[in-house]
Amino acid sequence: MEVKKVLTSEQKEFKKLLLKLPKTEIHLHLEGLASVETIWTLMKKNNLQYKNINSKSDLKKKFEITSLEDFLDLFINIIQNSFINENDIEYLIDDAKNYFLENNIIYSELFFAPSKFIQSGLDFKKIVNILTQGAERIKKDHNIDIKFLIDVSRSFGIENAMKNLDLVLANPSKAIIGIGLGGSEKGGPAKEFAKVFEKAVSKGLHVVAHAGEDVGPQSIWDSINYLKAERIGHGISAIQDEKLMTYLAEKQIPIEICPTSNLFTRKYAKTLKEHPVKVFFTRNMDVTINTDDPTVFSVNLVEEYMNLLTENIFTKKEILLIIKNGVFATFLPVARKKEIWKMILAEIPR
Ligand code: HPA
Ligand code: ZN
């Protein structure tokens, strides 16, 4: 949700520059890119009925959530539940393509959580083919690179998470580079998934985890110690733990901050001004900015950066440094990171 403000001419100029800069985004869920149009189309096509949703505007209203648990109910039981055929996922690929073009995102690491899709009877191998071919098409048509992180999910138990990992390993794809741990942080402590993550690391996959979004700092420590998470999704409860903030800064473990998402789920910040992102940045933590679920939260990446500027959280210079962090926190080879940063620098007037 963009904070509605009349922009000064200087801010307007900066927004133009932001649009022009090639960007990366590393905490973004494919299903969270589903447009209202897509879900409405699938509801009709697949003959689905949901309580109190009789129009597109009812559906849009349903997106107004105020807690992580409410959000997950919408995410799993309406958005993910609307896909009953593997080909339905093509709609998501199209929504993703439009989002990347709109924001000039040239590289993204995208979460996809298969658990609900598999429960609905979709075949993982076919899903992988659609994701892989979708990524190839977007690369060929628009020169945008997409890699997927499969969210093994903490919402459906350890066995399910291990089953998801085994499916990833049995269906290798150049487009899939690792796993993540999303879903109910309260219901699925990181520690319990140690074996799944240990196996993933041993097979050469990257590992990341949502942590400190809905639960205190211990959840972040556990993701580092038990899961060996290379990046932390959200991580905002680190604000309660001096040692943890120092550790994250020293080790330069990137944190994927999703400001608007956090204001919707309302756990550790209700306004941008009270969001810990500035403290993290000031303490030299490796801060990146992301949207999490753009359609649900009605926000895009350019708006996230603009909100931080217009609310006086960050200066223009600081925002450019955060964009740089977003490049170097990716799992791309170092040479490619440098190349992208060079492309960005070339667009910045000096
Ligand atoms: N947290 C947990 N699970 C999720 C999220 C999130 O922010 N977004 C999509 N699935
Ligand atoms: Zn997320």
**How far, in Å, CA of 311 to CA of 234, rounded?**
20
Q: What is the mean pLDDT of each run of 10 residues along the chain (350 residues)?
A: 80 98 98 96 97 94 90 96 98 98 98 98 98 98 98 98 98 98 98 98 98 98 98 98 98 98 96 97 98 96 98 98 98 98 96
| 288 CA distance to ligand 2 middle (Å) | 13
Instruction: Write the residue with the smallest CA distance to atom 9 of ligand 1.
Output: 29
- Ligand 1 site, residue 292, Cβ cutoff 6 A: yes
- Ligand 1 site, residue 75, Cβ cutoff 6 A: yes
- Ligand 1 site, residue 183, Cβ cutoff 6 A: yes
Give the model's pLDDT for residue 64: 87
Ligand 2 ion: residues within 5 Å (CB): 292
Q: Which of 27, 75, 151, 179 to mutate to test ligand 1, by most ligand atoms within 8 A of the CB atom?
A: 75
**How far, in Å, CA of 57 to CA of 206, rounded?**
39
Residue type, 277: V
Q: Which of 220, 292, 297 to mutate to test ligand 1, by most ligand atoms within 8 A of the CB atom?
A: 292
| 105 CA distance to ligand 1 middle (Å) | 21
Q: Which residue has the tokens 């009605």?
A: 298
| 209 CA distance to ligand 2 middle (Å) | 9
| 182 CA distance to ligand 2 middle (Å) | 6
Give the model's pLDDT for residue 5: 78
Nearest to 29 by CA among 104, 87, 99: 99
**How far, in Å, CA of 346 to CA of 350, rounded?**
10
Using CA of residue 334, residue 202, residue 251, residue 226, what is the dihedral sign? positive
Measured N-to-C along each axis, helices 124-142 and 89-103 cross at an angle, to the nearest 10 degrees, of 30
Nearest to 338 by CA among 329, 327, 322: 327
- Ligand 1 site, residue 217, Cβ cutoff 6 A: no
**How far, in Å, CA of 305 to CA of 40, rounded?**
29
| Contact predicate 297/1, CB 8 Å | yes
| Contact predicate 154/181, CB 8 Å | yes
Which ligand ends up closest to the CA of 219? Answer: 1
The pTM for the full model equals 0.97
Strand, coil or helix: what is 136?
Answer: helix
- Ligand 1 site, residue 145, Cβ cutoff 6 A: no
| 293 CA distance to ligand 1 middle (Å) | 8
Strand, coil or helix: what is 201?
Answer: helix
- Ligand 1 site, residue 29, Cβ cutoff 6 A: yes
For strand 255-257 and strand 23-29, is the pairing parallel, antiparallel, or unpaired? Answer: unpaired
Q: Which of 25, 28, 29, 219 to mutate to test ligand 1, by most ligand atoms within 8 A of the CB atom?
A: 29
- Ligand 1 site, residue 210, Cβ cutoff 6 A: yes
